[in-house]
Amino acid sequence: MKRYARNMLGYGQNAPYAAWPNKAKVAVQFVLNYEEGGENCVLHGDAASEAFLSDIPGAAPWPEKRHWNMESIYEYGARAGFWRLHRLFTEADIPLTIYGVATALARSPEQVQAMKDADWEIASHGLKWVEHKDMPEDEERRAIVEAIRLHTEVVGTAPRGWYTGRCSENTVRLVSETHQFDYISDTYDDDLPYWLEVGDHDQLIIPYTLEANDMRFATAPGWVTGDDFGQYLIDAFDALYEEGQKGRPAMMSVGLHCRLIGRPGKIAGLKRFIKHLQQHDDVWCPRRLEIAQHWAATHPHTRTERPSAMSQERFIEAFGGIFEHSPWVAKRAWALELGPAHDCAAGVHNALCRVFRSATHLERLAVLKAHPDLAGKLAAAGELTDESTAEQASAGLDYLSDDERKLFMQLNDDYVAKHGFPFIIAVRDHTKATILEAFKTRIHNANDQEFSEACRQVERIAQFRLQDHFS
């Protein structure tokens, strides 16, 4: 058994209706990352200085040395940038979610008090603003525990949201296993929150953003002027607002950093964006915690049986009859590289069809021969499968006049005599009249042509059966 861990489907075509409060067309959520004082620095016991997300072009770590310029740029964020942003958002009456690095918060008591006085949410941004990709799992687990402890000590309440940022492949799982958090944001994969099953725990994920984010002032390609950033935010908002007007309200995250957007020349574009969104009445600007609470109440998670997690026995039991009397198709499909994208009708159909298409000619012929005649002897004797009975009934083939029944019998006999397998058609695509028309036309096809057509019809029948199963 091969299983693919990544989820390439998500909500697919049928995303849930967000039902934001007051019928908002879009939820715009601002995050301010507070990292100043938690970055790599030899004063913090780190091996080298910081080199990430600053206005120093091509910055590199200085091993075993303090990088005075880098430190002072981070300090600008705490000393000046934070307060400029504090004034902007409190005057605009827009609440923020702070992603607070625990050690940075511990070194900034006045800023923490200002966050609390403004009733901003202070979520955890980890223990230190460092890379976790090479961190051993046990070490990262200990860092998560310490981040929660220190955050609670400094802020006075435990964090209810988490975002590491410079995370490892283990981060989301390790944070979820604490059962501590209303949400985790270490993903960038959707415009809506969603539930992630981590063992026996259902964890809410609220995706974050690296594109509607001022970090691109410090990366290439990136923003050059405040207007670059502001116009991008306006364009993103307008696109999401239009989707919301069409009944698909989503979420827009905006990521900010004190030392970046807190500079005068950069913040001007953000101000213009805030003015733009405040010209719309039906916009919700919550803290991230409110989004989590709304989603948990409006869209609680219900676990369902997932094909990619089924045992072979259960998979065959569930899908062995999709291809008529041919459970071997399901058996082979189970051994493919299935994943969350296969946990739907289209996913299982694709897996089954791959097996059918790659089977030998004789194997596919056996599947064709396993199908019953239309309105034939098995139907008359009540010996069809439940699926075939319902399908033939949907086209009225269970109520035929004596003449119609004789005609079907004769066509069945003539067709099998010529092609060596029963006439197969996805009856749900047809009426009784169009079935007869296709019957009379296809019987004259060359055998290879008709074999290919019959195989296509088998796949179409399987598609309908799977839609019934998943409905």
Active site residues: 371
Strand, coil or helix: 162: strand
What residue has token string 């590289």? 337
CA distances (Å), origin 469, targets 334, 344, 367, 368 = 17, 10, 20, 22
Residue type, 317: E
Helices (H), 167-277: 171-176, 226-245, 258-261, 264-277
Q: Token digits for 286?
A: 């919550």
Among 322, 312, 311, 385, smallest CA distance to 352 is for 322
Q: Using CA atoms, how far apart are residues 418 and 222, in angstroms rounded to an integer? A: 67
Among 204, 154, 149, smallest CA distance to 176 is for 204
Q: Using CA atoms, how far apart are residues 49 and 66, in angstroms rounded to an integer? A: 6
Taking residue 119's Cβ as centre, other Cβ atoms within 10 Å add up to 10
CA contacts within 13 A on the Cβ side of 359: 24
- Which phi and psi (to 5°) does residue 125 adopt? -115, 25
Q: Token digits for 137?
A: 């799992």
Beta strands 194-198; 201-205: pairing state:
antiparallel
Confirm if 33 and 49 have CB atoms less than 8 A apart.
no
What residue has token string 């007007």? 245
Helix or strand run (H / E) with residue 112: helix 109-117
Tell me whether residue 224 is exposed, middle or buried, using C-beta atoms within 10 angstroms of its C-beta: 0 to 12, 13 to 18, 19 or more. Answer: exposed
Taking residue 367's Cβ as centre, other Cβ atoms within 10 Å add up to 21
Strand, coil or helix: 31: strand
**Length in residues, the chain:** 471
